[in-house]
Structure 1
Amino acid sequence: DEFDVVFSLGEINRSPIINIEHKLGLESWCVKHVYAYAYAKILNAKQAKRREDPVLLLRWTQFCLLIAPEVATFWNIRKTLVREGRVNADTDLLLTKLILSRKPKCMEVFQHRKWLFTSVIARTVHHPANGANDMNENNQIGNLDPVHTECIKQFLFTELELCTITANKHQNNYHSWNHRLWVIQQFSHFIGLNDICKLEYETSHSWISVHVSEHSGLHYLQYLLDVIVSIVDDAVVGNLGEIVPYVESVEKLYLRELEFNRDLIEEYKDHEALFCHRRYLLMRLRDRFCSSPQRTCSPPPPALKRSCVETVNSEWSAVLLGERDLINKCMLTKSYQKTLGEKHAQWMNNVVAI
């Protein structure tokens, strides 16, 4: 379930392959020799345009991809072999998972997994009674029977688990989070968008709590919040509490997120990603509070700052007062947190007109 190149001091007269408890290793001294041999064989077969033994091609491309998964030529050969039925799609799913254990931020690996589903797996699991291929123009599947739906669910949760593993292995793993977003967009309707949003919202919060500098993880949370809000606005769900427990409205959701974000800012100082995410929340919350004609988002006059109740919009005024308090606390520090507080104050003045 894992692969890596193991450093070695020099050539030793023994097998360079290490296999311990399902962990595969390859001693570094042999990598350049074997890779050069396999690479030359692949290019010779490709340039000569001859039909090489598929078994040999599988071995050569498999090794080369374990070492250099960024090379598109190797993936194109694998795609050809999959289309011809020379290799099973499940085999390539296992191979890509093994590659990601060594290079968790490799974009080409995630692209190949997407291709395997949209071009192979999706068309294989679906067999309509009339023989037609029920794939729409966006490569999404239509109605499936319960057995095939369960297969898709299993694939979905496998991909989500893989994305979590790769995100933990490499910080700010944009490609991993982008793949997770794609998985949600493609397969959420198989288990219900409400259920998957509830699950992912809880998972995302837990993950961000221990990865406070992750811009990519926070961006994914922003996507989830936008989806949840659209579900509520479109009346797809009767009560927001079905997705986010103990939250009755969208405004309360954003206020809860601001509180969660502030706790992280005060607990883990000097992380700009948290301030960027906070600005997203403030913009969304301002749009909600200002959507009604009788409401105003202008800050209260100095004479009326004694009580939020005395302002035209008490909720938004309370938010602004909270931002002032947060900025003042940041200014009292002598670390990078002070600079972040100054930037946040400038943003508030320019954008929110605080």
Structure 2
Amino acid sequence: MSLLEAVNLDDSNAFCEKIINEIHSVFLNDTELSGFEIIPMPSNTNKSPVIHVEHNLGLQSWCVKYIYEYSHRTILRHKSDYQKISGGSVPASGAANSSGHCSLLMTGNGSNSIVKYLNCAILINPDVATFWNLRRQLFAKNRLDITKEFQFSTVVLSKKPKSNEAFAYRRWLYLFQSYDAIDWSFEIALCEKCADKSTTNYHAWCHRQWVVMKAPYLLKFEIHKTEKFIRKHVHDYSCYNYRQFVLAKMQERLHFDDDEGSHFNELLRYVNALVDTPMETVEELLRWLAPGVCKDKTVDIKLRSFLFCLNVAANDLMMCEELKSLHGESQAFENHRRYMTRFIVDRCRSASCTLTREMGGQMSSCTQPMNKITKLDEQDSLFVQTMIQNEKNREHPQHQKWCELFLEG
């Protein structure tokens, strides 16, 4: 008998319970379950609609409506029982309600646990905050295992990679994990997988920002990973925006990657092409970028970070031109190029403030934050003036306006 026939006979509950229990069994027994998908199947084939192959779970589409509606009704029906439990009043085991169903005791793995209904409801529709909040309450009562909860949210994201609720749930779970026990690299990989499956995935990139703020040692890897992603998804501006965030964090934390050496080749190439003056050494480069700074009076780590971050920005400026030549015009290329242009200009303008050593308890005469510094053309280095003029020469009315607002001060 098919589920559709069972509906007409008011016998659908038994069929829904059978399917939900099958799905629940998969979650209980497959510790490596990693994916979920709804498989197009317009009608019942008199076989189980639950498909479990190589750590992936599938549910045939013909039964999705009935499973979701039944799970939703069951969760709402027993929500009052759950609220009693979360408040400390636990109903007697096996007590039956007026509809004939056993009370949901929230045991986490019992056959009557609300978890199995939550699993199905969230898998089918992960955007309902009420379902996730019920899971939080269950977890807070030690009814759920944290490892399985991370696994469950990963499975949800395999089907709905833009699920903000799933990402938020993971961040909440991490409040109960010690820092040393967290695999931050896995979290980065999960974000990338979700972004790869769904373009402009705002929630995945925001979650990734959260990860690198919690584990800033990952910043050194993000420059390479994001460039690789950009070259694969050239028009997805979300990654460009995240890369800008990474660069800003590097500058804020005075990051310098020793593995990258100290030659700053991309920056040298960019500056040489712009000012048409051959230079080969860091000293020559510094004279162009920050002529008012004496290398002997700078903090070494600040200088190395300053040049490293500018090197990344110069690399991106050239990358944008390369992508433009390969793929044509794109607003993503232009917006990213503008950000990196302004980044270089602002860093060069503030160099005398940020690089000078603290002597006698006082810094150099420049103590105001960058946004308070008067930006007059005559105060700019020759390189910055040349860079701004080069931008102003680009024939585009909107770009001219941008130059006036963000470069000329």
| TM bin (shorter chain) | 0.7 to 0.9
1:100 aligned to 2:157?
Answer: yes
**Counterpart among 39, 48, 52 of residue 6 in structure 1:** 39
1:53 aligned to 2:105?
Answer: yes
What residue is the counterpart of 1:144 in the other structure? none
What residue is the counterpart of 2:258 in the other structure? 242
Residue correspondence of structure 1 range 114-125 to structure 2 within 5 A: 114-118=171-175, 120-122=176-178
Residue correspondence of structure 1 range 14-93 to structure 2 within 5 A: 14-48=47-81, 49=83, 51=91, 52-54=104-106, 55=110, 56-93=113-150
Distance 1:343 1:210, change over 3 A: farther
Which amino acid counterpart does residue 163 of structure 1 have in structure 2?
A: C
1:347 aligned to 2:402?
Answer: yes
Q: How far did 1:352 drift?
A: 2.7
Residue correspondence of structure 1 range 317-328 to structure 2 within 5 A: 317-320=385-388, 322-323=390-391, 327=394
What residue is the counterpart of 1:135 in the other structure? none
CA distance in 2, matches of 1:313, 1:271: 31
Q: How far did 1:251 drift?
A: 3.7
Structure 2, unaligned runs of 5 or more? 1-33, 85-90, 92-103, 265-303, 353-364, 367-372
What residue is the counterpart of 2:203 in the other structure? 175
Which amino acid counterpart does residue 382 of structure 2 have in structure 1?
A: S
- Across the aligned residues of Structure 1 and Structure 2, the Cα RMSD in angstroms comes to 2.7
What residue is the counterpart of 2:13 in the other structure? none
Q: How far did 1:11 drift?
A: 2.5
1:89-141 deviations in whole A, cap 9, x for unaligned?
111111110010110001000000001111x223xxxxxxxxxxxxxxxxxx6
- The question of whether the paired residues in 2 share the 8 Å contact of 1:172 and 1:215 is answered with yes
Q: How far did 1:262 drift?
A: 2.2
- The question of whether the paired residues in 2 share the 8 Å contact of 1:198 and 1:243 is answered with no
What residue is the counterpart of 1:162 in the other structure? 190
Distance 1:46 1:77, change over 3 A: same
1:276 aligned to 2:344?
Answer: no
- The question of whether the paired residues in 2 share the 8 Å contact of 1:218 and 1:277 is answered with yes
1:207-247 deviations in whole A, cap 9, x for unaligned?
11222222221111111111211233xxxx6xx35265443
- The question of whether the paired residues in 2 share the 8 Å contact of 1:296 and 1:313 is answered with no
1:202 aligned to 2:220?
Answer: no
What residue is the counterpart of 2:15 in the other structure? none
Which amino acid counterpart does residue 121 of structure 1 have in structure 2?
A: Q
Distance 1:81 1:312, change over 3 A: closer
What residue is the counterpart of 1:216 in the other structure? 238
Matched length: 290
CA distance in 2, matches of 1:347, 1:184: 31
**Counterpart among 170, 180, 187 of residue 113 in structure 1:** 170
Distance 1:187 1:299, change over 3 A: closer
Q: Could you say what secondary structure the match of 1:172 adopts?
A: coil
Q: Could you say what secondary structure the match of 1:3 adopts?
A: strand
- The question of whether the paired residues in 2 share the 8 Å contact of 1:297 and 1:313 is answered with no
Q: Could you say what secondary structure the match of 1:12 adopts?
A: coil
CA distance in 2, matches of 1:255, 1:121: 39
TM-score in terms of structure 1 length: 0.74
- The question of whether the paired residues in 2 share the 8 Å contact of 1:93 and 1:113 is answered with yes
Q: How far did 1:270 drift?
A: 2.6
Which amino acid counterpart does residue 181 of structure 1 have in structure 2?
A: Q
Distance 1:36 1:251, change over 3 A: closer
CA distance in 2, matches of 1:214, 1:244: 27
Q: How far did 1:299 drift?
A: 6.8
- The question of whether the paired residues in 1 share the 8 Å contact of 2:200 and 2:238 is answered with yes
CA distance in 2, matches of 1:209, 1:322: 26
Residue correspondence of structure 1 range 179-198 to structure 2 within 5 A: 179-188=207-216, 193=217, 196-198=218-220
Which amino acid counterpart does residue 144 of structure 2 have in structure 1?
A: V
Q: How far did 1:297 drift?
A: 6.9
CA distance in 1, matches of 2:259, 2:242: 17
CA distance in 2, matches of 1:271, 1:177: 21
Which amino acid counterpart does residue 352 of structure 1 have in structure 2?
A: L
CA distance in 2, matches of 1:25, 1:252: 47
TM-score in terms of structure 2 length: 0.64
Percent of matched pairs sharing the same residue: 28
CA distance in 1, matches of 2:392, 2:319: 17
- The question of whether the paired residues in 2 share the 8 Å contact of 1:213 and 1:271 is answered with yes
Which amino acid counterpart does residue 329 of structure 2 have in structure 1?
A: D
Q: Could you say what secondary structure the match of 1:10 adopts?
A: coil
CA distance in 2, matches of 1:266, 1:322: 19
1:264 aligned to 2:347?
Answer: no
1:289 aligned to 2:345?
Answer: no
Q: Could you say what secondary structure the match of 2:177 adopts?
A: helix
